[in-house]
A and B are shown apart, each in its own frame.
Chain A
């Protein structure tokens, strides 16, 4: 990235940085360094893909939801995620890349999505844990991104955050209901927390010292807070929520430190983190294969819609 910056006009670069420092949003038609554009193309598309791939683990339970209310809530939540994917693809398209191209990059493995969705959702309690922990972690990150320097991304985040906070509460409600239920239900809830706790903490990315994109992203205010700071905010918020309903996070070393006013926790198993990112998580192959299949199955529908639109256009021209 440093090499690329050397090719940029130093005066324009200085003006750009001055705007960022003055908290003026960068808009699509404004000049921006190529590295800034590339960084956003990577980050926003990854975010969009995450929303869309994230529909799968929850879609896994929508046909088995146990009540009319929970079925409706889950469907509405997944629908929100699809909507978030749309806002984000639109924001990403303002950077000069089409949605088709982004999807192609996803299918070719050139673009990533949040690794957390490569874990399975074997029980109904996973619908609670995903909402509470995965959406809860996403909110911490996204609240921070509402102040990101790229205008379309920041505005998409404002809308998304409003809906995500509902999701988090809905997820927590599922967990709370399970904890008020039978022994089997309580066991189900604890098991889901045990499985989702560490993947949720991994969502904030590697330690700041190991993060490839962090320092330049902070300078350009694409990122506003460090991975470790955001992770700590999430830990501090979530452990008391778990305790309140009788759940215990799966970390023997988790304890409150009155001096720092933060919880201390064990370190993350980074080997697992990198292994799942490299494609070796329980569901990586399946998640991508599902998306590719749906896209391929829909090819004839998209072709028909396009052919029909062209026919209508020609009719209008003749008329």
Chain B
């Protein structure tokens, strides 16, 4: 097994899995019915992407299936960004988290559709259509909330300020990524960083949101298996039946 490729596949998969899970938690809590529908739809897209990627990871692993990877791993074996495990504190946090991740997904999948790994390229091409729509929606909400009322502006600015510390991780180049980038399998993180900032700047300007300038935080990144306090509770819930009935099929 190419362990670099396996880790990279899980990083992609887990971002979608955990963000999709967070959206599933918010069902029936939306500000109005249409938004509830749209958020569930986004969550479903993300879970579909996670499923395709986890299947690919399971194939590489050879001893487990995608459900084991989704529901059976230890916390340190999940490789998602801290950003996506951040809880649904309110709609402002939810949509800010979504926007920051949607920009990353669009930029990343745009590059990955030309990956030299055929499976990654094909999943990226399919996912790109979905995340492009997600980004359109979340950008529109950032603009509406940023340029809506004074209350919504202040609130969304606060959400951006608080979530910003988790964005560094997106552009952190480690050895796994570097090797795959050289092979033409992983996307070029320096390109991603540039394009991500350009898009975020563009939306923030229209939304009258000020981009925070925060110091780099001392975090053990999610993609290396280090997680926030929020992750344990998320997994306790998501893995509940698997933990309670390890051998049962559902």
* A-contacting residues, B22-74, CB 8 Å: 24-25, 27-37, 40-41, 43-44, 47-48, 50-51, 54, 66-67, 70-71
Among A66, A72, A302, the most chain B Cβ lie within 10 Å of the Cβ of: A66
Report whether A297 and B241 are in contact in the complex, using a CB–CB cutoff of 8 Å.
Answer: no
Expressed in whole angstroms, the Cα–Cα distance for A175 and B64 within the complex equals: 26
Residue of A with least CB distance to B239:
A64
Interface SS of chain A = helix
Residue-wise, chain A 80-116 has the 8 Å CB interface mask toward B (1 for contact) of: 0011011001000000000000000000000000000
Q: A82-B37, A86-B37 in contact; A297/B90 too (CB < 8 A)?
A: yes
Report whether A68 and B149 are in contact in the complex, using a CB–CB cutoff of 8 Å.
Answer: no
Q: When the two chains form the complex, which single residue of B90, B143, B241 contacts A64, counting CB atoms closer than 8 Å?
A: B241
Tell me whether B182 is interfacial, beta carbon within 8 Å: no
Tell me whether A70 is interfacial, beta carbon within 8 Å: yes
Q: A82-B36, A184-B245 in contact; A63/B25 too (CB < 8 A)?
A: yes
Report whether B149 and A300 are in contact in the complex, using a CB–CB cutoff of 8 Å.
Answer: yes
Tell me whether A56 is interfacial, beta carbon within 8 Å: yes
**Total contacts A to B, CB within 8 angstroms?**
135
Q: When the two chains form the complex, which single residue of B28, B51, B90, B238 contacts A56, counting CB atoms closer than 8 Å?
A: B28
Interface SS of chain B = helix
Tell me whether B213 is interfacial, beta carbon within 8 Å: no
Report whether B47 and A72 are in contact in the complex, using a CB–CB cutoff of 8 Å.
Answer: yes
Among A174, A302, A308, the most chain B Cβ lie within 10 Å of the Cβ of: A308
Number of interface residues of B (CB under 8 A): 49
Residue of B with least CB distance to A302:
B31
Q: A79-B41, A303-B152, A308-B147 in contact; A66/B91 too (CB < 8 A)?
A: no
Report whether A303 and B51 are in contact in the complex, using a CB–CB cutoff of 8 Å.
Answer: no
In the complex, chain A residues whose CB is within 8 Å of the CB of B43:
75
Report whether A301 and B37 are in contact in the complex, using a CB–CB cutoff of 8 Å.
Answer: no
Residue-wise, chain B 146-188 has the 8 Å CB interface mask toward A (1 for contact) of: 0111011001000000000000000000000000000000000
Report whether B29 and A297 are in contact in the complex, using a CB–CB cutoff of 8 Å.
Answer: yes
In the complex, chain A residues whose CB is within 8 Å of the CB of B24:
62-63, 71, 75
Expressed in whole angstroms, the Cα–Cα distance for A55 and B29 within the complex equals: 10
What are 5 sample pairs from A and B whose C-beta atoms fall under 8 A apart?
A: A63-B237, A66-B241, A75-B24, A182-B248, A300-B151
For the complex of A and B, list the 7 residue pairs with the smallest distance between their C-beta atoms, beginning with the closest: A298-B31, A304-B148, A304-B152, A301-B31, A66-B241, A66-B250, A59-B27
Spell out A's residues near B (CB within 8 Å). Answer: 52, 55-56, 59, 62-68, 70-72, 75-76, 78-79, 82-83, 85-86, 89, 124, 174, 177-178, 181-182, 184-185, 290-291, 294-295, 297-308, 311
